[in-house]
A and B are shown apart, each in its own frame.
Chain A
């Protein structure tokens, strides 16, 4: 291979050559010190284009509100507990009791207007599903 021109070395550097030419150029540069030196110079000069480095203040960007780190781990468990409790509570509200226990709590004296009359007051103390 003849010694490549600077433009060809630049194309090689920029990786805009096809694979076949790339392989040939690599082989030549491995064997030819002057061309290798030219290539390295072109590389240094090209690197300058990417060296714009102004003194910039640090970036400040507030993180958007997200789920707490630990909360996310247990959110499924919490959701399950809440759902289970809600279902249980709701069922208990709508379910018809199968048995009611009614006991006589006390024997109350009536008012003076109804002297001599006795009333039994009953109240429901337990309403449960058996």
Chain B
């Protein structure tokens, strides 16, 4: 059992310090992943917090594999759910409401480089985007990504290659690469 799972067991026994350690170790990266999928910091923070609680209340029967990898699968599913929910709210009677204001995601990005990176990722279609996010920000292997997305393994590998190539080209055009 990894150290993180050991902290998790202590948290389940009531050790709040162990709980806080897990939040500090993994909360930020998981929020970053959820932010890229949902586009909303508030939603990302909420669902990551809910994911921690869900894991606490319904732990896996075996503490195998990485703690963050397991938790990020919960975060990913919740992120997709939130994305679908917010998409349905933004349309009224089938009419998409288009805002001219900066998106919540754009508002929190202060660094130009981050803005360029996010723009390149967001330019991808959902399937390619999710594969890239799960790989680079969820830290998942291709087998896990295939299972999470419901896409065959070979297709996942093709998608990650295409996604990375497109994003690199966009960043190069904007002068962010060598």
Q: Which A residues contact B (CB, under 8 angstroms)?
A: 7, 10-11, 14-16, 41, 44-46, 48-61, 63-64, 66-69, 71-72
Chain A residues with Cβ under 8 A from B121's Cβ? 49, 52
Asked if residues A63 and B117 are in contact (CB atoms below 8 Å), the reply is: no
Chain A residues with Cβ under 8 A from B36's Cβ? 52
Chain B residues with Cβ under 8 A from A57's Cβ? 45
- Rounded to whole angstroms, the CA-CA distance of A56 and B136 in the bound complex is 18
Across the two chains, which residue of chain B brings its CB closest to A46? Answer: B164
Asked if residues B109 and A54 are in contact (CB atoms below 8 Å), the reply is: yes
Across the two chains, which residue of chain A brings its CB closest to B108? Answer: A54
Q: Can you list 20 pairs linking A and B with CB atoms under 8 Å apart?
A: A7-B161, A7-B165, A10-B164, A16-B157, A48-B117, A48-B177, A49-B120, A49-B121, A49-B132, A51-B113, A54-B35, A57-B45, A61-B27, A61-B52, A63-B19, A64-B56, A66-B12, A69-B10, A69-B15, A71-B14
Q: Is B11 an interface residue (CB 8 A)?
A: yes
Since A54-B114, A61-B48, A69-B14 are in contact, a sample of 20 more A-B pairs with Cβ atoms closer than 8 Å, ordered by chain A residue number, is A10-B165, A16-B142, A45-B171, A48-B176, A49-B132, A51-B113, A52-B36, A53-B114, A54-B109, A54-B110, A55-B110, A56-B32, A58-B24, A59-B48, A61-B23, A61-B53, A66-B13, A69-B10, A69-B15, A71-B14
- Rounded to whole angstroms, the CA-CA distance of A7 and B168 in the bound complex is 12
Q: Known: A53-B32, A61-B53. Is A45-B114 also a contact (CB below 8 A)?
A: no
Chain B residues with Cβ under 8 A from A64's Cβ? 53, 56-57
Interface SS majority for chain A: loop
Specify which of A10, A15, A52, A72 is in contact with B14 (CB 8 Å cutoff): A72
Asked if residues B161 and A14 are in contact (CB atoms below 8 Å), the reply is: yes
Q: Is B31 an interface residue (CB 8 A)?
A: yes
- Rounded to whole angstroms, the CA-CA distance of A63 and B56 in the bound complex is 8
Specify which of A7, A45, A59, A67 is in contact with B31 (CB 8 Å cutoff): A59
Across the two chains, which residue of chain A brings its CB closest to B167? Answer: A49
Across the two chains, which residue of chain A brings its CB closest to B117? Answer: A52
Nearest 5 CB-CB pairings of A with B: A59-B27, A50-B136, A61-B49, A16-B157, A63-B19
Chain A residues with Cβ under 8 A from B35's Cβ? 54, 56
Q: Is B6 an interface residue (CB 8 A)?
A: no
Asked if residues B157 and A69 are in contact (CB atoms below 8 Å), the reply is: no
CB distance from A42 to the nearest CB of B (A): 8
Q: Is B28 an interface residue (CB 8 A)?
A: yes
Asked if residues B23 and A49 are in contact (CB atoms below 8 Å), the reply is: no
Q: Is B67 an interface residue (CB 8 A)?
A: no
Asked if residues B117 and A51 are in contact (CB atoms below 8 Å), the reply is: yes
